[in-house]
Amino acid sequence: MTVFTVYQIVSYIKELLEDNFIDISVVGEISNLQESSTGHYYFTISDNQSSLAAVLFKGDSFKNPLIRNKKYKDGDKVICQGSVGVYSKRGTFQLIVKKISPSGKGDLLKNFEELKKKLSVLGLFEQNKKKKIPLYPKKIAIITALNGAALQDFLQIYERRSIWTNILIIPALVQGEAAAVSLIKAIKQAHLYNERIITISNIETTISKEQAIDVLVLTRGGGSMEDLWSFNDENLAYEIHNSKIPIISAVGHHVDFTIADFVADLRAETPSAAAELLTVSQNKLIKDLQNNKNKLLSLMNLKISHFERIIYPNNPKLIIEKIIEKNNFLKQKLYKLNIIDRSYQYLKIYEKHFLLDDCINKLNYYIEKKFSFLANCLENHHKLLSALNPKETLNRGYCYITDSNNLMINNFKSFSTIPADSTLNINFGDGKGQAKKLH
């Protein structure tokens, strides 16, 4: 068996398609029309059975002024002339459009308008027949694809904003031929669930009627008219209209409208918008409760302050304190009137004491000053006498000589008059010695 590479297979298919589908005309309805930042136009051509990707490049768009002037919109039936091209890198093919021209109103859009008109005549869109959405739903059932982004968007918003609601998810197909039947079945299941809850609640059980579904949310994400077509089913419209449970339709994006939106009791632009609509009352309730709490606390504080102002002057403790204060005041007043005990003050003996203390302090000051002066004088005289004391000179290594009569010999002339062999006394600082004169 021959093994091909991916490139070989794609190249072979590319050759087959591009060689056999040259300058062809294709009729279908436009959907998902969008202009890229580079000026190219991408869209889908579809009928009841199939869809084909198409592109009108910027250069060819100048030859088709209707599309540049935005005359075409989703749902318009057109005839596109061009060739099939294969993009090898992705293995996809599309119609490379050279010319686009109108071909009457699109079948899908036409069917949509006809069904809308029919149901409107039957009164399915009348506001007075629509059921009121509960302000504070306790259980919400969501009918959508189990793994769809719409469910996640709804749950994220609801978990953040809701304070008590329970969510029941009823899976259903939201695209394809079997989707309408699946959606009808899901609505019936919701009603069967409520019937069982109400039936069981009438018997003595722990289950309450409050566990029944309060509101249904029919939802899915955005898409082309073909993707949302199941929500334009006539039987689904009757099922929504006859529902005993209020239904919110949250299908597609802001610009998407389906028959389900018109029949439902309330339309939400997106799944997230549905979650916000259902929780707006709960958020308002939280804010109101908080405001009421703040007002109540403020009023309570005002009341407490008012009664405190009334009660405080009559407080027994305060009265006792005033009595004690008054008593102390009278005691002081009585003391001022007691002359005997205050004789010391009136005779001003204390002034004499102060004067005597000042005299004693001054006398002590002058005595100490005189004593200090005399001590300094004595110290100075002592130092002077000490400096003149001969012994102090001898202690520094000097000595003096005396004769046998202890007369000081203080010059050579006196020394020369002393006879030879005479005994001389040598006086040191720490003692005396003797010596004889030889000559």
DSSP tag of 162? -
Q: Which tens digit of pLDDT belongs to each residue from 317-342?
A: 878 888 899 888 888 887 777 666 66
For residues 7-20, average pLDDT? 89
Q: Which tens digit of pLDDT belongs to each residue from 270-302?
A: 998 988 888 876 777 777 888 888 899 999 988
Of 235, 251, 231, the closest CA to residue 243 belongs to: 235
122 confidence band (pLDDT: 50, 70, 90) = very high
Q: Is 34 left (phi over 0), alpha (psi -120 to 50) or beta?
A: beta
Give the pLDDT confidence score for residue 344 in this predicted structure.
Answer: 61
Full set of structural domains in the chain with CATH: 6-105 (2.40.50.140), 112-282 (3.40.50.261), 392-436 (no CATH)
Give the pLDDT confidence score for residue 220 in this predicted structure.
Answer: 92
Say which residue, 81 or 103, is predicted with more confidence.
81
What does the chain come to in residues?
Answer: 439
Q: Where are the alpha helices (DSSP H) in 69-178?
A: 107-121, 149-161
Burial class for 69, CB neighbours closer than 10 Å (0-12, 13-18, 19+):
exposed
- Share the mean pLDDT of the chain: 85
Report how far residue 144's alpha carbon sits from residue 139's, in angstroms, rounded to the nearest whole number. Answer: 16
For residues 181-185, average pLDDT? 95
Q: Which tens digit of pLDDT belongs to each residue from 231-243?
A: 999 999 999 999 9
- How would you classify the pairing of strands 266-267 and 247-251? parallel
198 confidence band (pLDDT: 50, 70, 90) = low
Give the pLDDT confidence score for residue 107 in this predicted structure.
Answer: 66
Residue with tokens 């059921």: 131
346 confidence band (pLDDT: 50, 70, 90) = low
- For residue 69, the SS3 value is coil
- Calculate the dihedral angle through the C-alpha atoms of 381, 384, 387, 388, rounding to the nearest 10 degrees: -100
